[in-house]
Structure 1
Amino acid sequence: MTTPTETSSYLGKPLDGWRLKLFTIIFEADTRAGRLFDQCLIFAILVSVAVVAMGSVGAVADRVGIWFEVLEWVFTLLFTAEYVARLLCVRHPMRYALSFYGVIDLLALLPTYVALLVPEVSALIDVRVLRLLRVFRVFKLTAYVQEYQALARALAASRRKISVFLSAVLMIVLVMGTLMYVVEGPVNGFTSIPTSVYWAVTTMTTVGFGDITPKTDLGRFIASCMMLLGWGTLAVPTGIVTSEMASLRGAPAPATTRTCHECLTEGHLPEARYCLHCGAHLSPYFRDIP
């Protein structure tokens, strides 16, 4: 009978030697090398996004544009090396490549290379628009900041309540939009039910573009009720998420950044032997920082 370790070795490349050390540095942060890697990566992401933002300022780009190009290639090569390193040190490279952060990593790399390969001709969309996708690098921050993860857990825990709330809002705007179509009619700008629903959405969210306004007294009364209702509606999702965050605050946080080699789930206890998500056998835990 095969052991869990022997069985998992048939499912992907085993992690040992330099690949295990690289995995520990990149995917875990309970060692000095892992913590330093995360800190350097966060700094590189923030600077690269700042370069993209400043490169869109014409006066600045005209003066130091060549340095922005150099920095962009430096960051692109740096993130390319990081992406390749992640693929090399995981047991299932394709699984990581198709994951959320794997796709974000790829989106952070492609624009620069595509801009190099695709000529800027009038028949194609301006490559500069595609290069703006480099801002997706900022999403990589969510993998390294614990507060992002806490917010994600609160949103996930409240997703059913928020879904019910959004369903109720959609029903309200549909009913009120239809009612305004009947009350005001095409003569006052409510030319169709979809147009009236659009007015209801802008009124409910207290945006009020003003391109469509009720003219009758009854229509203005309905609009006033929707505006007042909108103020209360805005507070509901905030209260839901805040309540979930308060309840999760008392729950024990993940003890470590120890990551499963199979499914890349982190947060396992130091003494855990198997993954809490997929049940795969965990390698020994490494930690050298308090």
Structure 2
Amino acid sequence: MTVYAKTRSRLAAVVVRRDTKAGVAFDYAVQFLVLMALAVFSIGTLPDLDPADRRWLEMAETAILAVFTFEYALRIWVSENRWGYVFSFFGIVDLVAILPVFWFARGTTDLVFVRSFRLLRLLLIIKAVQSSEAVFRLKQAWWQIRDELMLYGAASVIVLFTAAAGIHHFEHKAQPEAFKSVFHSLWWAITTLASVEYGDVYPITTGGKIFTFFVAVTGLGVVAVPTALLASALTKTKRPEGP
């Protein structure tokens, strides 16, 4: 084995594998940096922050994102299937989370866009749980019930459209501003099916109220069915404890 191959193999044991002391330490270090990045992000939103302190926060942010950029490149280098990692879920999360580094390097002056772009750092929350055993089981559970969830998702879209079309039929004449079209009625359909009900738009006709009752009852299943499917799959994937 060449020096190149040995170095790559040793780094893979640290960066990719989680059954070694070095790998566990690396994961904890990444999670610590994620928490630091989120703390810097949160402190930076304080309105009365001293300019000098804000500069220190920006320097800390740049340093942390630079480390994550190096980590992203390192993960690509040690991966057996490099393109597989790049286009995987966590590979995309890793890339998107460090995109502000490349944008800042361009020296943009569009501060509004930069501030919006910095919200991508919130994806670091996902990165923090990347190495969690629970996430591994969750991925397995999702893979087991993916067909059922896809079918249920398609059915939910049909129910959502039916709810929007139905409430538009009952309420359009009584509330033309709130229910201008089926598309405007989608907001009501989403909040009702999700059992949120903000109360900003609601039916006032008898037909609309009766229709809302059936939509609300249907909404219980919209939340309960996928939750039950996922809970059942997680139970099956949970590793048995003890001998």
Name the TM-score class by shorter chain. 0.7 to 0.9
In 1: Cα distance, 2:156 partner to 2:78 partner:
46
Q: Does 1:70 align with 2:88?
A: no
Q: Which has the larger radius of gyration?
A: 1
- CA offsets per residue over residues 227-273 of structure 1, 9 Å max, x none? 23323432222111111111222579xxxxxxxxxxxxxxxxxxxxx
1:237 to 226, 230, 242: 226
In the superposition, the TM-score normalised over structure 1's length comes to 0.71
- CA offsets per residue over residues 84-142 of structure 1, 9 Å max, x none? 333333455455334333333332333034224233148xx532222222222222223
Instruction: Judge conservation of contact 1:55–1:61 (CA < 8 Å) in 2.
Output: no
Aligned counterpart, 1:183? 170
Opposite residue 45 of structure 1, the aligned amino acid is V
Opposite residue 174 of structure 2, the aligned amino acid is V
Instruction: Judge conservation of contact 1:204–1:226 (CA < 8 Å) in 2.
Output: yes
Q: Does 1:133 align with 2:156?
A: no
Gaps of 5+ in 1: 1-12, 253-290
Query: Structure 1 residues 197 and 72, CA, compared in 2 at 3 Å: closer, same or farther?
Result: closer
Aligned counterpart, 1:210? 199
Please tell me the root mean square deviation across aligned C-alpha atoms, in Å: 2.9
Query: Structure 1 residues 14 and 150, CA, compared in 2 at 3 Å: closer, same or farther?
Result: farther
Q: Does 1:38 align with 2:27?
A: yes
In 2: Cα distance, 1:250 partner to 1:134 partner:
33
> How do residues 59-208 of structure 1 correspond to structure 2 at under 5 angstroms?
59-60=48-49, 62=51, 64-91=53-80, 93-121=82-110, 126-189=113-176, 190-208=179-197
4+ residue stretches of structure 1 with deviation over 6 A? none
In 2: Cα distance, 1:119 partner to 1:186 partner:
49
SS in 2 for 1:58: coil
Once the two structures are overlaid, the 10-residue window that deviates more, 32-41 or 62-71, is 62-71
Gaps of 5+ in 2: none
In 2: Cα distance, 1:245 partner to 1:92 partner:
28
Offset of residue 73 of structure 1: 2.4
Q: Which structure carries more relative contact order (alpha carbon 8 Å, separation 6+)?
A: 1
In 1: Cα distance, 2:239 partner to 2:64 partner:
39
Aligned residues: 239
In the superposition, the TM-score normalised over structure 2's length comes to 0.82
Instruction: Judge conservation of contact 2:174–2:204 (CA < 8 Å) in 1.
Output: no
Which has the larger share of helix? 2
